[in-house]
Structure 1
Amino acid sequence: MTPRQIEAYVDAAAAALDLKLRPDHRAGVLRYFALAGEFAEVVEAVPLDPHAEPAVHFSPVVPPEPGA
């Protein structure tokens, strides 16, 4: 999304939720939505097989120590 599209989305979402966005918070909210959009682009870039299914259970693991 372009910065203008992000602003329009944030303004529309805030209005729909009757959320009063403080002027001093606006820049941070806009940056967050831009960042979330960047994350979405990364996720959407991963090709999925038509038969790919979501995992039934996710078990996070502790990363190994460097040099281990």
Structure 2
Amino acid sequence: MDHAAYIDASAGLLGLKIPATSRAGVARYFALAASMAEQLQGLPLTAADEPGDVFRPVCPQGDEG
């Protein structure tokens, strides 16, 4: 899926200027987020299911910052 239109529309609504040098990274993030969302959409949830207590983000591969 090409996320370019969504990235452009969202950035415009938020008043963000995404430099050309950052667009590929932003597109990779959207592809990653979309793949995670797709996996979650397939899980059946009930009223008894609760969210996890702790979210621990990790740096993307190759990012030492």
Q: TM-score, normalised by structure 1?
A: 0.68
Distance 1:34 1:20 in 2: 20
Q: Give the root-mean-square deviation of aligned CA atoms.
A: 2.0
Aligned length: 55
Gapped regions of structure 2 (runs ≥ 5): 56-65
Higher relative contact order (CA 8 A, sep 6+): 1
* Structure 1: 5+ residue stretches without partners: 61-68
Q: Which aligned segments of 4 or more residues in structure 1 are displaced greater than 6 angstroms? A: none
Largest Rg, 1 or 2: 1
**Which of 47, 54, 60 is equivalent to 2:50?**
54
The Cα offsets for residues 7-43 of structure 1, whole Å up to 9 and x where unpaired, read as 1000000000110100000000001001000000111
Q: 2:36 maps to which residue?
A: 39
Among 25, 28, 38, which residue is 1:28 paired with?
25
